[in-house]
Structure 1
């Protein structure tokens, strides 16, 4: 597999940041750099890769809190999420105070992403899928070649993202999971924003919030 990854839990919320790299070029991206910047930089060094960009699924502090710091330190751009996420990224300082995180300045990414876009990591390409509901501009990243989905806070092992935050929408979240993510192959590995890995097939069959009744 040309696309490799390491899951790195960060922040008191144990958010799964992902170091993603192309093993041909050793060019990498950090997805959802929520905090613990030095820990993330240490794993970059340990894996011998060169970060070329930061990717964000959404703007909650535990996913985006260290993005500006790392982008500045590494001299790389931030890509994503979808532009409706401007609300949350503008609120990063307030989110930090609310949850007791280190200060994080408001963040405007170098480019917003939209459904149907793609991003590159070295020679590898990942599709951008807009999955609103947990937040309005949430996106996920999917590599068909690697059979890998970085799902942020949309889909978890046995659960789904919360929708009780401002601008959350439960119906939109369910529609995104069933209409977009469950269209992916069953053996797609899912890297959620919190907790263990799972697969699309496992969640389609057994997730109590979104399971396909045909498998009941």
Structure 2
């Protein structure tokens, strides 16, 4: 599976275009905004967008989802239904964070742990990882040992848990009980900042390093 990170919004959120090399079918993960830039990259690589995938309901991750979906005639998939209230409050989020107005929307499908999402002939596993938000999910490519983790985990940090229905305990459990078992060699693309590996974070992350939690 190929991918390209396209930083979007003033928050420099790591929107990802992911695609199947054989079929040139693509998905966009977390199009928070700047959809013209995303569309330009889809065209540059000769890709056909087939779906939009959302990790969670915060505006910097979903603010451009409905506009991109409508323009391409494709469905929005995810996150978990426990983030429905975030999608319902997008008009308030846009005002609070100084974004252009964004209307509430409902995805074509909510996801749960164990679901699988296809991109062309490639498959992503769905993992429910609550904490930053209650309905946060992670997309994992076992074949590529690569995970799109949204705002669960970052290089050297973890997601905020000061939002409504956030839980620090749930977040730590999601990282240590859901992500770590995937393997130290797994690379991850966070919602913000540089790529890292689970092994590096288990060794060095000041919030979830093994020596801090054992």
Q: Whole-Å Cα distance in 1 between the matches of residues 25 and 184 of structure 2?
A: 28
Residues 1:134 and 2:98 aligned together: no
Q: What residue number does 2:80 align with?
A: 82
Residues 1:144 and 2:147 aligned together: no
What SS class does the counterpart of residue 180 from structure 1 fall into? helix
Q: What residue number does 2:27 align with?
A: 29
Alpha-carbon distance change, 93 to 215 in structure 1, aligned in 2, over 3 angstroms = closer
Q: Whole-Å Cα distance in 2 between the matches of residues 129 and 213 of structure 1?
A: 25
Q: What residue number does 2:69 align with?
A: 71
Residues 1:20 and 2:25 aligned together: no
Q: Whole-Å Cα distance in 1 between the matches of residues 92 and 38 of structure 2?
A: 24
Aligned pairs (5 A) from 1:1-216: 3-213=1-211
What is the RMSD computed on CA atoms of the aligned residues?
Answer: 1.2
Residue pair 1:156, 1:192 contacting (<8 A) in 2 also: yes
Give the number of equivalent residue pairs.
Answer: 214
Displacement, 1:205? 1.0
TM-score (norm 1): 0.97
Q: Whole-Å Cα distance in 1 between the matches of residues 7 and 123 of structure 2?
A: 24
Q: Whole-Å Cα distance in 2 between the matches of residues 176 and 156 of structure 1?
A: 13
What SS class does the counterpart of residue 24 from structure 1 fall into? coil
Residue pair 1:16, 1:193 contacting (<8 A) in 2 also: yes
Displacement, 1:186? 1.2
Could you tell which deviates more after superposition, 62-71 or 180-189?
180-189
Q: Deviations over 1:173-192 (max 9, x none)?
A: 00000001001121111000
Which sections of structure 1, spanning at least 5 residues, go unmatched?
none
Residue pair 1:205, 1:215 contacting (<8 A) in 2 also: no
Displacement, 1:215? 10
Displacement, 1:103? 1.2
Which sections of structure 2, spanning at least 5 residues, go unmatched?
none
